[in-house]
Structures are given as C-alpha cells and as structure tokens.
Amino acid sequence: MSIQPGDTIPDTTIQVIDGDIRPAQSAALFAGRKALLFGVPGAFTPTCSNKHLPGYSAHFAEFQQRGISVMCLAVNDGYVMQAWAASQKVPAGLLMLADGNASFTRALGLELDGTAFGMGLRTRRFALYAEDGVVRLLQVEAPGELRLSSAEAMLAAIAH
C-alpha cells in the first residue's frame, strides 16, 4: 500500500545531488519544512526529460516564493542523476534524489515494475506535498499520464 495523506515520510538512506553527491536520511530532508517531492520513472527518459523535470525547473522560483523545497526522485544511481541534472540545467536548490536500490521508493509504496520494458523496478510518476515530514497531498499518475503530478497542477493544488 502506498503512503497516504496524514502518513509520515519513511526514513531510509538516499543519495542527494545538489552539485555533489552525498548520503542523507529521507526523513531529515522533510523535517521542519514544506516540501514537494515528485517521482519519475527514470532519468533521461522522454516524458521525464521533456516535460516533468523541465516543468519543475521552470516553476522552481514559484515554489521557493511559497517557502516550498522541491525534490525529484528516481530509481537511478547518483552519477546518473547528477548527469541528468547537469544536462537539464536544474536550478541550484532543486534537489535530485537518487534511489539506486529503490529502498525509499519501496518504503513509499510507489514502485513500478518496468520489467516488461527492460527497466526493472522504478518509481511511479507521482508528486507529494508534505509539511514537517507529514504528507498533506499525494497525486499518483495513471500509466502513461502526466497531469496530476506536473508542477502546474501541484502549484494549483497546494494554493492556500
């Protein structure tokens, strides 16, 4: 079962890419802040590279103005996420989270079996908004969709 509004972000070790690659505890990344986490099936894949991540990069300043940290999660290693961030010119401060072993993705209950496509276990396309480590909103996409978890949709959904 996937994480739901009202649940606390699970605590696992994950790699954070913000220039360098460093280990961090997932719960600590969400503690004491408003945070938007969006998950993508894979770095360098078409929808993720052409629409999902670019949308968050384009609207990053709007999230910052609302005091919301933004993080991107994928089941890829830190080096791939670092290269993807550089190729996409991700703004400084938008954290890329590399979940190479899918431990955080599984703890969230948001894994996707991409074996039929030669991709193995991946992250489902989703976005969640949390305050002080507690999920307030979760939007999980149907396969092949990008509507509910887009930057625009999440900005509208969390407008106060």
Are residues 109 and 121 in contact, defined by beta-carbon separation less than 8 angstroms? Answer: no
Are residues 25 and 104 in contact, defined by beta-carbon separation less than 8 angstroms? Answer: no
Alpha-carbon distance values, 158 to 40, 128, 132 (Å): 20, 10, 15
Task: Choose the catalytic residue: 17, 35, 43, 48.
Answer: 48
Task: Please confirm, yes or no, whether 48 is among the known catalytic residues.
Answer: yes
Element (H, E) at 139: strand 134-140
- Where does residue 49 rank: exposed (0-12), middle (13-18), buried (19+ CB within 10 A)? middle
By annotation, the residues acting in catalysis are: 48
